[in-house]
Amino acid sequence: MASPTMATLDVTQEAAVKPSVLNLADESSMIDEVNNSQYIATPSVASVSWDDLDPTDTRDLQIKVDDPQKHVTSMETYITFRISTKTSRAEFDDSEYSVRRRYNEFLWLRARLTEAYPTHIVPPLPEKHSLLGQLDRYQRDFIRSRMALLHRFMNRVADHPVLSCNDSFKLFLVSKPSEFAVHRSRGRSVLNRVSESLHGLTTAGVQSRSPEIQRVLDYAEKLSDKLTALEKASSRIHKDKTVMIGEMQRLHPTLTLMSASEPELGPLLRAAAGAVSRCAAAEQAVTDAQPAQLEQPLREYVLYAEAIREALGRRDAVQAQFEATAAEIQRKEAERAQVNAGHAPSGLSWVFSRATPEALKAEEEKLGKQLHQLKVDLESLNDRLECANSNLLADMERWEKLKVRDISQLLGAMGDSQINFYEELGAGLAITAGRRSLRGSSEQREERQSLL
């Protein structure tokens, strides 16, 4: 299945290498934004430019997601992202790879991972549609935020000791389009269908959970609430700040105009206008950094809370199976006891035949075989359940550590950005207000002291 690309619209301005049909100029800065984005923090979600190697990144598998491009075919229009891989792992033939994938293919990958590791917490993908539901799929902000979250997803998987060894993951990273299409269309495995149907089981299907597991579930719900509230608060601040910046920009020319008709006050007024304008620019910089610094990481963790609940759901399914089997064994035991006591077991087939000793013996044997099988099943289910529980709890441990680091980095970035803002602004203002040329000569000395 070749990828039918009638025309590739270059969404970026990397036109030097590729022949571009159309340059959408207003999308051109997206690649710069990814490279310069300020959510570089820990290596696991770092946005690294391969041109300048990040010396602190010592991982043996590094992945970068960038360069969104729009593809137009007769059937559909979609966007692909470039996945660049750098690795020193033995199972990879080369040390560098570069492929293009679209969102649906990420969904496929995640489905494979949850199928292979049902009781692990598989990192989340960005949602199919934007929250507002009205944003165009091709709109710049939406694409930017989707790409950032895809980048995070890939790195989370790469850093996971278990998930990163998965074959589908490797295929995703290295396959050429044709090979990859083959793998994708291979058909769903039976296991996949089964696990999907199990996934449909609600958490109410289990009788009771162990306290630790229950704690995890409760926590995931509450975390989701709080982070969503934080998202809302930050988006409102973003909006209000934009209004405020607009007003600052309007104040600047007002002061400048006035300075034109005031000979003595002119310099001071112009200095004030300059200060206002600098303030507006500084605020704009802080606001611009907010999506990458704050909103995208928050969104990821909201989605993570959902992913945890999914993993719990799958674990619950195993427990439900276990409990169902146990219940079945109880029923069969009761039947066997009845048969042993010489009574005919209840059931339609016995209504019309006589409960002869031979029939009863046959029944008892049958039941015995069933029970034996059930008990074997129960053993293995028990193992599976214990496995599931400890996998989940271990993964939670790992995730908890990541979470603390990521949250402290997220909030830290917020704090740093504000600290920088106030430091620079304060210094600029102090210089302006302290300038001799702007002040009356008599006030200089006394007032300059109080400033510094």
| Residues in 355-384 at the binding interface with other proteins, rule: CB under 8 A | 383-384
**Residue 43: Cβ within 10 Å count:** 15
Sequence-separated (6 or more) residues with CB below 8 Å from residue 18: 8, 10
Amino acid at the residue 415: G
Tokens found for residue 437: 């040329």
The size of the interface with other proteins (CB under 8 A), counted in residues, is 76
Tokens found for residue 47: 């946005």
Q: Binding of other proteins at residue 309 (CB under 8 A)?
A: no
Q: Which of residues 46-105 bind other proteins (CB under 8 A)?
A: none
**24, 201, 251, 344: residue in contact with other proteins (rule CB under 8 A):** 251
- Among candidates 205, 217, 280, which has minimal Cα distance to 246? 280
Q: Binding of other proteins at residue 170 (CB under 8 A)?
A: no
Rg (CA), the chain: 31
The minimum distance between CB 69 and other proteins, in angstroms, equals: 36
- Among candidates 154, 137, 149, which has minimal Cα distance to 70? 137
Tokens found for residue 185: 């269309």
The minimum distance between CB 272 and other proteins, in angstroms, equals: 6
Q: Is 363 exposed, middle or buried (0-12, 13-18, 19+ CB in 10 A)?
A: buried
In the complex with other proteins, the residue whose CB is nearer, 6 or 376, is: 376
**41, 400, 437, 446: residue in contact with other proteins (rule CB under 8 A):** 400
In the complex with other proteins, the residue whose CB is nearer, 96 or 397, is: 397
Q: Binding of other proteins at residue 119 (CB under 8 A)?
A: yes
Q: Binding of other proteins at residue 157 (CB under 8 A)?
A: no
Q: Binding of other proteins at residue 288 (CB under 8 A)?
A: no
Asked if 220 and 395 count as a contact pair (C-beta separation under 8 A), the reply is no
The minimum distance between CB 340 and other proteins, in angstroms, equals: 36
Angle between helices 266-290 and 211-260 in degrees, nearest 10: 160
Q: Binding of other proteins at residue 264 (CB under 8 A)?
A: yes
Q: Which of residues 401-420 bind other proteins (CB under 8 A)?
A: 401, 404-405, 407-408, 411-412, 415-416, 418-419
Tokens found for residue 326: 């146990």
Q: Binding of other proteins at residue 214 (CB under 8 A)?
A: no
**30, 109, 116, 367: residue in contact with other proteins (rule CB under 8 A):** 116
Site string for other proteins, 421-450 (x = CB under 8 A): -xx-xx--xx-xx----xxx--x---x--x
> Among the candidate windows 72-80, 174-182, 231-239, 328-336, which touches other proteins by CB under 8 A?
231-239
Cα–Cα distance between 345 and 331 in angstroms, integer? Answer: 11
The minimum distance between CB 403 and other proteins, in angstroms, equals: 8
- Among candidates 372, 397, 412, 432, which has minimal Cα distance to 308? 397
**Residue 27: Cβ within 10 Å count:** 21
Cα–Cα distance between 157 and 85 in angstroms, integer? Answer: 13
The minimum distance between CB 368 and other proteins, in angstroms, equals: 28
Q: Binding of other proteins at residue 243 (CB under 8 A)?
A: yes
**57, 127, 136, 397: residue in contact with other proteins (rule CB under 8 A):** 397
Q: Which of residues 267-286 bind other proteins (CB under 8 A)?
A: 268-269, 272, 275
**22, 182, 194, 229: residue in contact with other proteins (rule CB under 8 A):** 229
Angle between helices 357-434 and 266-290 in degrees, nearest 10: 170
In the complex with other proteins, the residue whose CB is nearer, 79 or 307, is: 307
Angle between helices 357-434 and 211-260 in degrees, nearest 10: 20
